[in-house]
Amino acid sequence: MSLSLPKITPLLGACLMAALAVAAGPAQARTLDTAHGEVEINGQPSRVVTLYEGALDTALAAGITPLAAVATRGGEGVADYLSEQVPDIAMVGTSREFNLEAIATQNPDLILAAPTLSDEQYALISQLAPTVVPESEGFSPDGWKSEARLYGEALGHAEEVDAAIEAVETRAADLAARLDNEGTSVALVRWMPQGPLVMSTELFSTGMLAASGFDVTDAGLVKQGRPHSDPLSLENLGKVDEDLLFMATLNEDGREALEAARQSPAFSQLEVAKRDHVIPVDGQLWTSASGPLAAQAVLDDIEAALLSDGQ
């Protein structure tokens, strides 16, 4: 991840001074333990900037609408499942590159960032406002919960975030009972123009599949510490010929590549394809997002695909 670093222009300098003045204003403070040490938050933040999809999701789940965010993977705005809630939100970069001046012009009083934020990036961004970065847990299917709880504390809405997480856990357990799918094997694949990527079992969305009672596999194709496999040939896709195959695409290029692959003999010979158990899903949601609202949206997809009305 890189950071677009402008010179300290008069505009940026003024924004820095204003942001620091807001952060230093009189209010009851609380101190959070973060990946970059203790961070003091004064009162109730009202000008929040999120530099991570999971942070935007959590803020919205807590009833807070951030001023700015970063674009989702493979897109130019926020993920579709959130777009209606923030139609006018400002974009200040991508998951890989931020625009410091664009962030500064928002005059934030709180910045919520990803666990992957570097020391160099933190040193710059934290000059604008208190910046909260969760400790990195590596790839963990439940890591989103601790991230969300920290963001909830920073926002002053810990109870709301706890309730949102509990609602996800309750719904997933209920869905598992309704599906009665013990022993049903599933894999998640993201289809890219260069070929299919098998997603790790340690990701947010595969964790939601597991919480819904599925036996999730990556067929040993994903190296430890990696989010997905190397691109597979169509001939090797049979390694994840499971009971169900969730197939994610990020954009139109990916969808076109998947549609072309569906016409190939190698794809049509998969048992999961013959049974019509290939389930298309939104790659921005399933392979990039995280948070309480994303969890509910993933559960919506599972329920819509596998349960008929009234079940």
> pLDDT, tens digit, for every residue of 114-157?
999 999 999 999 999 999 999 987 899 999 999 999 999 999 99
Q: Is there a single domain that holds both residue 111 and residue 203?
A: no
Q: Is there a single domain that holds both residue 94 and residue 227?
A: no
Indicate whether 167 belongs to any domain: no
Q: What is the domain count for the chain?
A: 2
Indicate whether 239 belongs to any domain: yes
Indicate whether 208 belongs to any domain: yes
Q: Is there a single domain that holds both residue 74 and residue 113?
A: yes
- The CATH number of the domain holding residue 116 is 3.40.50.1980
Q: Is there a single domain that holds both residue 46 and residue 186?
A: no
Q: Cα dihedral angle (249, 251, 256, 258), rounded to 10 degrees? A: -10
37: left (phi over 0), alpha (psi -120 to 50) or beta: left
CB within 8 A of 2, min separation 6: which ones? 96, 97
Q: Is there a single domain that holds both residue 240 and residue 114?
A: no
Domain of 204 in residue numbering reads as 180-306
Question: What mean pLDDT is predicted for residues 218-223?
Answer: 95
Q: Is there a single domain that holds both residue 133 and residue 203?
A: no
Indicate whether 30 belongs to any domain: yes
Q: Is there a single domain that holds both residue 117 and residue 247?
A: no
Task: Note the Cα 182 to chain centre separation in Å.
Answer: 27
Q: Is there a single domain that holds both residue 75 and residue 20?
A: yes
Strands in 97-99's sheet, in edge-to-edge order, are 2-4, 97-99, 90-94, 68-71, 48-50, 110-112, 131-132
pLDDT in tens, 236-267: 989 999 999 999 988 877 788 788 888 888 88
Domain termination site, one of 121, 156, 191: 156
Indicate whether 163 belongs to any domain: no
Nearest to 210 by CA among 239, 181, 242: 181
Q: Is there a single domain that holds both residue 130 and residue 240?
A: no
- Contact at 8 Å (CB) between 92 and 98? yes
Helices in the chain by DSSP H: which ranges? 10-23, 53-61, 80-83, 100-104, 119-125, 143-155, 158-179, 204-211, 252-262, 265-268, 271-274, 283-287, 292-306
- pLDDT of 58 > 90? The answer is yes
Indicate whether 206 belongs to any domain: yes
